[in-house]
Structure 1
């Protein structure tokens, strides 16, 4: 029991020591500790809350941000909202709109039901289904307009129906045809100290059979800093990669940023970066070979998802039949070195 308690205590102490070890140093030695931190004075507590709530990680979407003083009118940007809405919201809106439009024309026919032929006396429900037939230009022949008023309403409804069918077809096609990059990012980023050179590494993979051409990768360090005038601002520092351009992304690729004297991460500890609400923002741009369209992907890592003195396990191997095997089940696996 005492041995177990001792191991847990040593593990906790090693974790705390790693948080205050500079990222560009080799594995920490005993006695290392945190140097005196420069105390940051924020303008107001409210500013801190606002900036800290504005995280760039994936768990927060645009709907989690409330924009005060900015009107987001659906009607002035209807096409964009139709493309970016979720499938559930898009389908719900389409069904409700379809029902309301047919109900509106059914009420118009109800003002003069005698001008619509058919068996028996017309009800609002029968006129609703007549509106459905007219709007879709089906026209089964069981009901037909016979007066000036009904002919006018039918003419207007047919025009509206043709426009709705054309617009709905275009929007649905655009939602299906919108290019999406099926790029997978590693769950964690690692800082490898192989060969005595510290480097921040992130692995990406192409999940499609078709390759992605001319891939450009950009990594930036996002953190909260106090400007010269005392305001709290979010600052983005570019992290230069050993290879930021990949001509062909077929399987997987590891991006590496050397933490040298010129790196924004040089001399930083995990504790300092966590205090600044730092994140690693990754953006990937390329051209899908099959679609011929530009695709984008992005993600972000907080520093609690960065593992020091680790590396990614190898997932590419040669098979006995001469083919290459890529084990995506081990894509996120890392190992200590």
Structure 2
């Protein structure tokens, strides 16, 4: 800051903030309104030209409703297939299946026998007779064990996968700061009752300049907290050292700015590191406002109201 002041006294402009290399390059997201990081923390990048078949990754990352629906569909289709094979071999190879029954009823019996064999339940009402039916039943049982092992691994991987534990405020604020100053602020909190420690924050400002993407790190008032039981308001003072110092409200819009945020920490409860990305577009900035309190003292404890993380109050200009 002293160096900047000295340069100003000498009639020279202060040097621009050093750019950082986030691995994104300066040729991306040059279309106005395009963001680099999606609201869910993923990168706004779609890969084309080379298809990578990765069923395990897709099954681990897809939503639970889709995963359960796909599992049920696979379960039904597999047993329809094997039930059809039992039907081709002949239902006379299955005991206690009357051959006088209609075709659809014998088909149902073959399907449910496949289900019992696939899941190794085997109630004993139907049993295979003959080499063909017994060989197919042995293969279906082996296939069922393999499918059960795969499903167990997938479900464990889905539960063990790091979750998005950090809750972000819906907007970032340009708030009053110190006497006559202002700052950029946003708020985060742990959405679960788990122990997060050694939480670090990093904020980078990016904008378009002559159709080129520029990046500048923002110095934070505090970039680390050892313990994270409550909310944390992350503050960047907009002073002479800030790349935002001479920016007006219109500049944020005209330069199509975006705040890129990285949160790192360690979850003691699950013994795993966490890494979360987020961003705020210029349209998600609120000017001249302050966050309202979101935790209160109640008798011998403190209540943290997560539903108030985005509550703010406008200030008089």
TM-score using structure 2 length? 0.79
- Aligned partners of 1:207 and 1:251 also within 8 Å: no
What corresponds to 2:237 in structure 1? 258
| Large movers: runs of 4+ above 6 Å | 59-62
Matching residue of 1:98: 75
For the 8 Å contact 2:220–2:234, the answer to whether it is kept is yes
Structure with more of its chain in helix, by fraction: 1
Query: How do 1:1-337 and structure 2 match up within 5 A?
Result: 49=31, 52-54=33-35, 56-58=37-39, 67-73=47-53, 77-113=54-90, 114-121=92-99, 123-195=106-178, 196-226=180-210, 232-319=211-298, 321-335=299-313, 336=315
The alpha-carbon deviation at position 250 of structure 1 amounts to 0.3
How many equivalent pairs are there?
Answer: 280
Offset of 1:253 from its aligned partner?
1.0
1:330–1:94 CA distance, 2 compared to 1 (3 A): closer
Identify which range, 167-176 or 116-125, moves more after superposition: 116-125
For residue 269 of structure 2, give the secondary structure of its aligned residue in structure 1.
coil
Q: Is the 8 A contact 2:87 2:107 kept in 1?
A: yes
CA contact (8 A) 1:57 1:301 kept: no
Give the unaligned 5+ runs of structure 2: 1-28
The structure-2 alpha-carbon separation of the partners of 1:72 and 1:277, relative to structure 1 and needing over 3 Å to count, comes to farther
Distance 1:235 1:100, change over 3 A: farther
Unaligned residue ranges in structure 1 (runs of 5+): 1-46, 227-231
SS at match of 1:311: strand
Return the alpha-carbon distance in structure 1 between the equivalents of residues 226 and 76 of structure 2.
50
Query: What is the distance in 2 between the residues matched to 1:68 and 1:78?
Result: 18
Distance 1:57 1:317 in 2: 32
What is the TM-score of this pair, normalised by structure 1? Answer: 0.74
Structure 1's 234 and 69: CA in aligned 2 closer, same or farther, altered over 3 A? Answer: farther
Deviates more, 1:130-139 or 1:275-284: 275-284
